[in-house]
Structure formats: C-alpha cells, structure tokens
C-alpha cells in the first residue's frame, strides 16, 4: 500500500517522539491538513519516554549563549503549551513551576557553585544563593551534609509521558495519521528535491519531509547525500516510589539529579554513555545512580528501586540541535539532535519549524542550528567526495 499526494503543503514526519509529535501538532494548528507520522515502533516510546521531564535551562546552563537563549525561550512557551494541550485533549501534563535546586555536597562543589553564581547573576539569570540551613528548610529530605545551594525559580518540570499521551491524542483527534511499525529505510530524492520515503515494503510520496528520527537519524539513507552524523548517547534512570511527595523541587548535584513527581515517584538520573544502540541497563549504571541518590538524600536508603530503564539521546558532533532545511535537498527538513533537552525544546522547535514550513518565516535559530554548519563549503554528495 502507498499513498500519493500532489499537494505541496502535505508533510510526512519520520519519527514519533516528542519532536515529531509536537511538530505535527503545530503544523496542524497552522492549517496543514494532510500530515502523516511514520514511526518505526510505537509512538512516544524512545528517548522522549525515557526522559526525566526537566525544563531546566538555568540549572543546566554552562554559558549564556544562543543555546541557552533557545532553551529559555522554549521554557517560557510551556505554560501556554500545557494549557492549550489540556483544552485540546483533557490531559494535564503536570507542568510544575516550583524551580530547581543545585546542591553543593563537597568542597569542590562549593567552589563550582560560587563560580556559577557569580557569572549567572552577572548574566541576568534568576538565581538565589542559599545557605545549608535555607536549603534544608526548603527541602527537609536533602542530606544534612549539604553545604549550600543555588535555587533557580524559573526552572520547571513536566510529566513527559503524559505530554506524549497528550500529543498523541491531539493527533488522533485531529486526523493526523500515525503509522506505527513502519521503519523508513531510504528517503526518495528526485532532481534535488524530496519526493517521499520508503520502508522495506512501502513507498510514501509527499511534498515535504521532516526527519525527526532522534538517535536513529543517521541510519536512514538519503541516496548519495552526506547527512550530519547523530550518535546515540545512553541515559540510564531509576525510580523509587514513596507514599507521599518528599521533595517539592527538582534537585541536582554535580553528579546527578532527582525529579519528584506529584504522585510520590522519585526519578533519579542519569548516566551519559556512548554504548551504541544498546538500551539495556547495567549493574554499574544502577549502582552509580543509587549512590548519587543517597548522596543527595540519605534517608531514601531503605527504598527499593521500583523501576529502571534507559533511553538513547540524539547527539550531534557539537552537542547542539540540528534544525531546518537540508541545503542540498529541497523540502527535506531536519529536526533532531536535541540531546539532553528535547522535552524542554519541543515547543519552540515545533513553532519555528511550522512557521518556516507554512509561512516561510525564517527564525534566527534556523540559521544558528542549521544542518549546513557541519559543512561550511556546502554538503557534498558521496559521488564527488575525495
């Protein structure tokens, strides 16, 4: 079976993670009527499912650069995004705006925190420097060994699995087609323009393709064209269950983080490993996460690990997202490499891509994160490579 369409506004999205789903919704809201998402497995079950759901541009930033600006802008879109999704789907994605705490538990951590506080305050970031006592008043379950902390009131979290359900439900309610168990092997390119994509058994013909295949992007062949390389970077996580919520805020140390959910679950993450496409959890990984958890909150010592999982973050060579038109193939748009921040970056990614596709609007971010940056002299085809 195949479908054909002559309409140039029709869009095929390859990959049903948070980036593909959010982009489909935004395109639909802008009037694109014929959108299909092709998904290798089931939608929303890969990195976007594995994530912790932190929206933490301030706690995670190392410098006030374009990427930080992109993260902060996307974070600001979340209240409206969550409210709209609730109106559209009746699903509450549990946007929690109680902020994040970044703890110093050792002398080295204290030095790091002091440095961060100075430059972040200088850069105009909303941050408070708290003493050990102030930290434990805010979060009594934090270790008595805490020395001090930074509090970032503008950072948030969402229940990313509910976000995925909401986006999937939006698609179902609005006639966005989702084809699961459909793995795209090749993009179909003719006369320098995309005409569709093919799995082992089917061909799909459309006007535009958005490639949002996360960590698997580089496995899809684009004839002779050299696409930016994406590496899978494994993140392992564990989860504890508590009868009531023990922490109000997301809590970081330089070695890991705890994310408290409204229902008493506490997620602890995450490893950062180059392990190919292996999504298994390891004894070492789990032990590392458990040690970090107990360093932050020793009173969790008697809790059993209730769940453990791993996901693959999509990583480009410079660690930044890859967004926008692939210069050598007309109507091929990349939306990948969100690495550690794809949940945070989904609303703004979807917005700038949909505005570009439907209204021809050019965001600065499409220049900054363009696929073109990996080949300054222009991406070459393998035929001409030496």
Q: Does 184 bind ligand FAD (CB under 6 A)?
A: yes
Smallest distance, Å, CB 16 to ligand FAD? Answer: 5
Q: Which of 2, 31, 33, 41 is in the footprint of ligand FAD by CB under 6 A?
A: 41
Smallest distance, Å, CB 384 to ligand FAD? Answer: 26
Q: Which of 270, 312, 329, 352 is in the footprint of ligand GLY by CB under 6 A?
A: 270
Between 99 and 214, name the residue whose CB sits nearer to ligand FAD: 214
Question: What pairing do the DSSP bridges indicate for beta strands 208-211 and 11-14?
Answer: parallel
Question: What pairing do the DSSP bridges indicate for beta strands 322-325 and 332-336?
Answer: antiparallel
Q: Give the separation between CA 227 and CA 207, rounded to whole angstroms.
A: 20
Q: Which of 22, 32, 43, 52 is in the footprint of ligand GLY by CB under 6 A?
A: 52
Which of ligand GLY, ligand FAD, none has residue 103 at its interface (CB below 5 to 8 Å by kind)?
Answer: none
Nearest to 57 by CA among 363, 349, 344, 350: 344
Which of ligand FAD, ligand GLY, none has residue 19 at its interface (CB below 5 to 8 Å by kind)?
Answer: ligand FAD
Label residues 287-309 b or e (16+ Cβ within 10 Å = b): ebbbebbebbbeebeebeeeeeb
Between 235 and 260, name the residue whose CB sits nearer to ligand GLY: 235
Residue with the shortest CB distance to ligand FAD: 17
Nearest to 304 by CA among 242, 245, 258, 235: 242
Q: Does 269 bind ligand FAD (CB under 6 A)?
A: yes
Q: Which of 314, 324, 347, 371 is in the footprint of ligand FAD by CB under 6 A?
A: 314
**The token pair that represents 30 in the structure block:** 């802008």
Q: Give the separation between CA 46 and CA 146, rounded to whole angstroms.
A: 35
Q: Give the separation between CA 61 and CA 59, rounded to whole angstroms.
A: 6
Nearest to 208 by CA among 17, 20, 8: 8
Helices 66-89 & 160-173, crossing angle to 10 degrees? 60
Q: Does 40 bind ligand GLY (CB under 6 A)?
A: no
# residues contacting ligand FAD (CB under 6 A): 42
Helix (H) or strand (E) holding 112: helix 107-122
Q: Does 48 bind ligand FAD (CB under 6 A)?
A: yes
Q: Give the separation between CA 291 and CA 294, rounded to whole angstroms.
A: 5
Binding letters toward ligand FAD, positions 209-238, x by CB under 6 A = ---xxxxx---x--------------x-x-
Distance, CA of 58 to chain centre: 16
Q: Which of 10, 11, 13, 16 is in the footprint of ligand FAD by CB under 6 A?
A: 16
Q: Is the peptide bond before 270 cis (omega within 30 degrees of 0)?
A: yes
Which of ligand FAD, ligand GLY, none has residue 216 at its interface (CB below 5 to 8 Å by kind)?
Answer: ligand FAD
Residues 334 to 353: which contact ligand GLY by CB under 6 A?
Answer: 340
Q: Give the separation between CA 330 and CA 342, rounded to whole angstroms.
A: 25
Residues near ligand GLY, by CB under 6 A:
52, 54, 235, 269-270, 313, 340
Residues near ligand FAD, by CB under 6 A:
14-20, 38-41, 46-48, 50-54, 183-184, 212-216, 220, 235, 237, 269-270, 311, 313-314, 336, 338-344
């Amino acid at each position: 079976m195949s479908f054909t369409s002559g309409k140039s506004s029709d869009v095929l999205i390859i990959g049903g993670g948070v980036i593909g789903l959010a982009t489909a919704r935004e395109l639909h809201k802008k009037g694109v009527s014929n959108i299909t998402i092709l998904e290798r497995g089931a939608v929303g079950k890969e990195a976007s499912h594995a994530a912790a759901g932190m929206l933490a541009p301030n706690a995670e930033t190392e410098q006030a650069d374009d990427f930080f600006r992109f993260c902060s802008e996307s974070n600001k879109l979340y209240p409206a995004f969550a409210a709209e999704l609730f109106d559209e789907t009746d699903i509450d994605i549990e946007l929690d705006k109680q902020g994040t705490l970044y703890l110093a538990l050792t002398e080295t951590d204290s030095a790091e925190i002091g440095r961060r506080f100075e430059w972040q305050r200088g850069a105009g970031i909303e941050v408070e420097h708290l003493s050990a006592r102030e930290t434990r008043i805010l979060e009594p379950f934090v270790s008595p060994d805490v020395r001090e902390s930074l509090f970032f009131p503008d950072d948030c979290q969402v229940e990313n699995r509910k976000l995925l359900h909401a986006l999937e439900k939006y698609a179902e309610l609005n006639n966005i087609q989702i084809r699961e168990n459909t793995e795209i092997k090749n993009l179909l390119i003719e006369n320098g323009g995309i005409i569709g994509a093919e799995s082992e058994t089917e061909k799909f013909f459309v006007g535009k393709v958005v490639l949002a295949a996360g960590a698997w992007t580089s496995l899809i062949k684009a004839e002779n064209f050299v696409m930016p390389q994406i590496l899978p970077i494994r993140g392992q996580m564990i989860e504890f269950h508590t009868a009531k919520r023990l922490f109000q805020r997301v809590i970081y140390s330089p070695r890991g983080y705890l994310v408290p959910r409204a229902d008493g679950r506490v997620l602890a993450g995450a490893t950062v490993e180059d392990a190919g496409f292996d999504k298994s959890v390891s004894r070492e990984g789990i032990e590392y996460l458990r040690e970090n958890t107990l360093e932050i909150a020793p009173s969790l010592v008697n809790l059993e690990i209730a769940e453990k999982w791993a996901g693959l973050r999509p990583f480009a060579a410079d660690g930044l997202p890859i967004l926008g038109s692939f210069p050598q193939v007309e109507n091929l748009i990349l939306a990948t490499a969100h690495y550690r921040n794809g949940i945070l970056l989904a609303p703004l990614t979807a917005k700038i891509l949909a505005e570009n596709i439907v209204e021809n609007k050019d965001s600065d971010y499409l220049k900054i994160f363009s696929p073109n940056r990996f080949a300054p002299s222009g991406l070459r085809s393998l035929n001409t490579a030496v």
